[in-house]
Amino acid sequence: MTSTTEILRETAARLLASGAVEMVIGFRQGTIPMMNEPCFVRKPAEAGLLVWDSHCGINLANYVTDRKEKKIGIVAKGCDSRNLVTHILENKIRREQLVVIGVPCRGMADKRKIAMKCPGEILRVHETETAITAEGEGFTRTFEKADVLQHNCSLCTHRNPVIHDELAGEPVEEQQGVDRYADVRAVEAMSPEQRWKYFEDLLAPCIRCYACRNACPLCYCPTCFVDESRPQWVGKGQDPVDVRTFHFLRAYHCAGRCTDCGACERACPVGINMRLFTKKLEKDCLELFGWEAGLSLEVRPALDHYRPNDPNDFIR
């Protein structure tokens, strides 16, 4: 069987050699275990840099925002492709600029989960189709991939790219019967006081590095509201009120747009699950408007238009 990596390299080399694209955006082997780095290749000879494994979690749609190249090849798993759709709908890139090299995805590994399950520092990792093996000084641990997926990947119902011009591998079976919102329902069931406290604890470690915001392909505003000075919407310090305002408003700006790609949570250096906020909005969008972001280039997003059957009665 040909590996995804090989197909990607062959596809990238072919697209670059034929002049179909000026660059291909993908991943190269990282410098530490369980980490690959987004990169670009411009020459067919460089296509050998590209890799694919369970550590390609970063959402590459982030890297095409406002790019000027006429033709860009981009490697896209399910969530990346949904964010490309959103990018196209929001005029951050044109469909004609993209040659989407879709990768059917079986989910990305959660490196923290794996690290927590190992007795020491992980020095080497390798994987098969269904298992990941981590090795360190004096230990070897093998995990079923399904047990160490990122939380969002374990709940993912759109693993196959929704748009693609090339496909690196056979489509995978989509997960059925997934309960996507158990965590959100648990928070919804809390009293306002409990909820206040819960979020206070959740956000306490935040250092406001904005990795969550910047890792998110949706956050492309030239000046983010937290950086505005006239008026200054939110204080810049570590006061919990400012931290909370930042996280809530950031989430609201993703309403009806978030694909739960997990970029924010993965990027966070202090392990905050801020996906809880965006998932609540995602759940509401689904329940109120039957809307899931980034599935179609034809349908306008839920927050983008009005329908007479809007469930909110105050608006009629």
Count the helices and strands in the chain (H runs, E runs): 10, 8
Q: Is residue 215 part of the contact set for other proteins (CB under 8 A)?
A: yes
Interface with other proteins, residue 278, by CB under 8 A: no
Q: Does 314 bind other proteins (CB under 8 A)?
A: yes
| By CB under 8 A, residue 185 contacts other proteins | no
Minimum gap (Å) between residue 292 Cβ and other proteins = 23
Of the two residues 7 and 281, which places its CB atom closer to other proteins in the complex? 281
Alpha-carbon gap, residue 136 to 89, rounded angstroms: 45
DSSP codes joined into one string, 86-128: HHHHTTSS-GGGEEEEE------B-HHHHHHTSSS-EEEEEE-
> Is 99 or 219 the residue whose CB approaches other proteins more closely?
219
- Whole-number minimum distance, CB 63 to other proteins, in Å? 7
Interaxial angle between packed helices 240-252 and 192-203, expressed in degrees from 0 to 180 and rounded to the nearest 10: 100
Task: Report which of 217, 184, 277 is spatially closest to residue 77, judged by C-alpha positions.
Answer: 217
Site string for other proteins, 237-266 (x = CB under 8 A): xxx-xx-xx--x-----------------x
* Number of Cβ within a 10 Å radius of residue 2: 9
User: Interface with other proteins by CB under 8 A: which range of 9-17, 79-87, 125-133, 190-198?
Assistant: 190-198
User: What CA–CA distance (Å, rounded) separates 220 from 213?
Assistant: 9
Return the amino acid letter for 91: N
Confirm or reject binding of residue 92 to other proteins (CB under 8 A): no
Q: Is 306 in the site for other proteins (CB under 8 A)?
A: no
User: Site mask, other proteins, residues 1-30, x = CB under 8 A?
Assistant: -----------------------------x
Count other Cβ atoms within 10 Å, centred on residue 169. Answer: 18
Asked if 37 is part of the footprint of other proteins (rule: CB under 8 A), the reply reads yes
Q: How many residues bind other proteins (CB under 8 A)?
A: 55
49 in helix, strand or coil?
A: helix
Between CA 195 and CA 165 the distance in angstroms is 45
* From candidates 178, 209, 288, 299, binder to other proteins by CB under 8 A: 209
Question: Residue 304 Cβ, how far from other proteins at the closest point, in Å?
Answer: 19
Q: Is there a contact between 134 and 124 (Cβ–Cβ < 8 Å)?
A: yes
Q: Is 189 in the site for other proteins (CB under 8 A)?
A: no
123 binds other proteins (CB under 8 A): yes
The span from the CA of 55 to the CA of 51, in Å, is 10
Q: Rounded to the nearest whole angstrom, what is the least distance from the CB of residue 96 to other proteins in the complex?
A: 23
Kindly indicate which of the ranges 73-81, 85-93, 151-159, 232-240 contains the residues binding other proteins, using the contact rule CB under 8 A. Answer: 232-240
Q: For residues 205, 206, 211 and 214, what is the CA-based torsion angle, rounded to 10 degrees?
A: 150
Question: What are the residues binding other proteins (CB under 8 A)?
Answer: 30-32, 35-40, 58, 62-63, 112, 116, 121, 123, 192-199, 205, 207-211, 213-215, 223, 227, 229-230, 235-239, 241-242, 244-245, 248, 266-267, 269-271, 314-316
